Each structure stands twice: as C-alpha cells, then as structure tokens.
Amino acid sequence: MQIDKKGILYAFAAYGIWGVFPLYWKLLVHVDSMEILLSRVIWSFVFTTIFILVIKQRKLLFEDVKTLWHNKKMFWSLLAASFVISCNWFLYIFAVNNDHLIEASLGYYINPLITVVFGMFFFKERLSKAQIFAVCVALLGVIVLSIGYGEIPWIALGIALSFAIYGALKKKIAINATRGLAIETLFILPFALVYYIYIMLTDNMSFLHIDWQTDLFLMLGGVVTAIPLVLFAKGAKLLPQYVIGFIQYFTPTTVLLLGILLYKEPFTKTDFMSFSIIWIAILLFTISTIFESRKQHNLQHEVAKV
C-alpha cells in the first residue's frame, strides 16, 4: 500500500486534536469529571446523530442497528466496548483535570504495546523476537516508574488497558466510525441521563448553573469527540498500519509536552528514566514493525510475479 498524502494529513490532524485535548478539558476544570463524561456521552450522541442525518446515512444507521440486533455476539461486543471506552474517557478527563497529564501520556505510550500483546494472546497474531523484546523493555519502564513512585501508575495502566480492550472488542465489528460512535453512545445514553437527573436533584449540576461558557464547552465536548474519530477513520483507510502506528505517538508526545511545559507538572529523574526506557521500546517496536511490513510486502510482490 502506497503512503497517501491525504491519509498522512488526516492521521496527523486526528492525533493532533487528541494531543491538544487537555487544553479543552482544562477549560472545564471547575466541573466534576463525571459530569464532563456524562455531557460528552450525551452531546456526542446528539451531534453525531445530527451529522448522520445531514449526510443522509439514516438508512445505513438503521441497517447497522438491525445487524447488531441479529448478531448477538457483535451486539454484546459493542455494548462492552461502549462501557470500556466510557471508562477510558473518564480516566483521561480525570487525569487532565487533576494534574496527571504526564501519567496520561504514559498510558497512551504503552497502549499500542499492550494492544500487540492482546493480539498475540487473543487473536493468535505472531510477533517477531524484536517485537516481543520491545514489549518486555516497555514493561521494564513501567516497573521502574512504579518503584520510583512507590506505587503502581494506575491511571496510566487504566487508560492503556481500557483502550486496548476497546480495540480488541471492536476488532471484528465492521461499522463506520461515525455511525459506530452514535450507537456506542446510544448504549450509554440511558445511564448518562439517569445520572444527570440524579446530580440535578442533588444540586450538584454545573450545566445551566454556572455561566454560558461552561454550558457551551460541555455541549461542544460532543463535537470535539466526533471530529478526530472521523478524521482517523479516513486516514486509516488510506495508510498502511505501520504508518498509523508510528503517527499515533504524536498524541502522547504532545500531551507530555503540555504537562511539562505548559502546566508545569513535575518530571523527575525517575520519570525521565522510565520514559526513556519506554521510548527505546517504542523505537525498537516501530523499526521491527516497519521491517516486518516491508518484508511481507516484498514476499507478496514476489508471489504475485510467479
């Protein structure tokens, strides 16, 4: 597969938006993390559904729902994925608004490596010795950080594991990204509305109770959730997997720099040592993945000649 320039732009735009997400969620630092999550679910559903209607994919959305209803395995997988991604969103919002940006970036650095391990165990995907070594090196980095902190970096591991589980659950669900987001948020919508009613009755709600800027940012949380997903879906169709795998590190790198340079979170010698080990692991993994991809491509090219 050739490297498409449009695909590169789509991918960088998606991962760039995800990288600067902390700037957006910090605007809502005065709102409880759970309410931000609930608003994100509700308004993601509202705006994504409106977008689907505007681009005239209503029939396709109904067809997707029918397919899910008749395929119980797919239905339960997507339902589980909806809850897992909600947990991921909550952990990320909590990390951003409670000064754990560096730990959040760690989570997204190690997520691809955990995804690879999941592929090996659950989907019988084969890894090269170099890739297995890279995963072990990354694990060493997490252990070094845990010893330095005196505790396990639960937020980082929670973010990494939840996103890896989400990816594994969705691996065999072939649904368009935009319509998929509408269905996923639909699954969580009843719980979000019930909890919203609860916080409204207990006078703990920020929406419509602080100022119009807060209300606007809570509502637009649905838009900023949907846009990078659409861009990513477009980019993923045009690019080889190893290129997507390389570009995805743009997000945690941006988050890490924001945490250190803009929000002045402490970055200790232990942090530097741990991140350095993980960066080495990522470099090893990326190089070996590119090598394996090219080797496979050349092999297929030779077979095609025969």
Show the domain range for 13.
5-305
State the Rg of the chain over Cα.
20
Separation between Cα atoms, residue 271 and residue 253, nearest integer Å: 14
Coil vs helix vs strand at 300: helix
> What is the C-alpha to C-alpha distance for residues 65 and 246, in angstroms, rounded to an integer?
33
Q: Mean pLDDT throughout 226-241?
A: 80
**Does the pLDDT of residue 241 top 70, yes or no?**
no
CA-CA distance, 283 to 293, in Å (whole number)? Answer: 15
Helix axes 269-305, 101-122, angle to 10 degrees: 40
Total domains in the fold of the chain: 1
What's the sign of the alpha-carbon dihedral 66, 38, 102, 107? negative
Does the pLDDT value for residue 71 go beyond 60? Answer: yes
Q: Which of 76-90, 95-109, 136-150 has the lowest mean pLDDT?
A: 136-150
pLDDT at 1: 45
Query: What angle in degrees, to the nearest 10, is found between the helix axes of 177-201 and 72-97?
Result: 60
Cα(300)–Cα(152) distance, rounded to whole angstroms? Answer: 44
Percent of the chain exceeding pLDDT 70 equals: 94
| Per-residue pLDDT at 297 | 62
What is the reported pLDDT for 147?
Answer: 85
**Amino acid 304: pLDDT:** 57
